[in-house]
Amino acid sequence: MAVGRIQESTLKVFGNDYPTHDGTCVRDYLHVCDLADGHLSALEALEEGSNVFEHPDGVGVGPKEGEGKFRAFNLGKGNGMSVFDIVEAMRKATGFDFKTVVVERRAGDVPDLTADPALAKKILGFEAKQDLETMCRDLWNWQTKNPNGYQ
């Protein structure tokens, strides 16, 4: 919208009657660099000598030798931000006055989808570092330099 790729004049917000602080859906947004750091931490945990699969909680450890081993980790900040929180942060980051219109909820949207990164912190030492302002600023910086996406 702000870089001209979307021609609509308003940003649709799907519902404002959810049991959240402003009525809009809450999600656990994550900076792409934090996501990359989380994946690197997981890869490092696979290196020889790692004891990630021997952790006493046993979550996700393969049951028998030769069956493979896995661990599932949620990467996030552990606290969510609403649609309107994101819109306001993007207004600040871009200087663009995004107009919004509330429309009907989408089927299947849940009020709050926030990660619990406790296991990732405990086992991998992962902790998302970037705040919402930084996420939006960096997104805007990348988007203005790449208006048609990565090519």
Are the C-beta atoms of 4 and 147 separated by less than 8 Å?
Answer: yes
Residues 35 and 126: their CA atoms lie apart, in Å, by: 10
Give average pLDDT by consecutive 10-residue segment, the chain, 151 residues. Answer: 66 96 96 96 84 62 57 91 96 92 96 94 93 94 88 79
Question: What is the reported pLDDT for 19?
Answer: 97
DSSP annotation of 16 reads S
Question: What is the reported pLDDT for 4?
Answer: 56
Query: Which pTM value belongs to this model?
Result: 0.80
Question: What is the reported pLDDT for 46?
Answer: 82
Residues 144 and 65: their CA atoms lie apart, in Å, by: 50
CB atoms within 10 A of CB 128: 24
Question: What is the reported pLDDT for 8?
Answer: 77
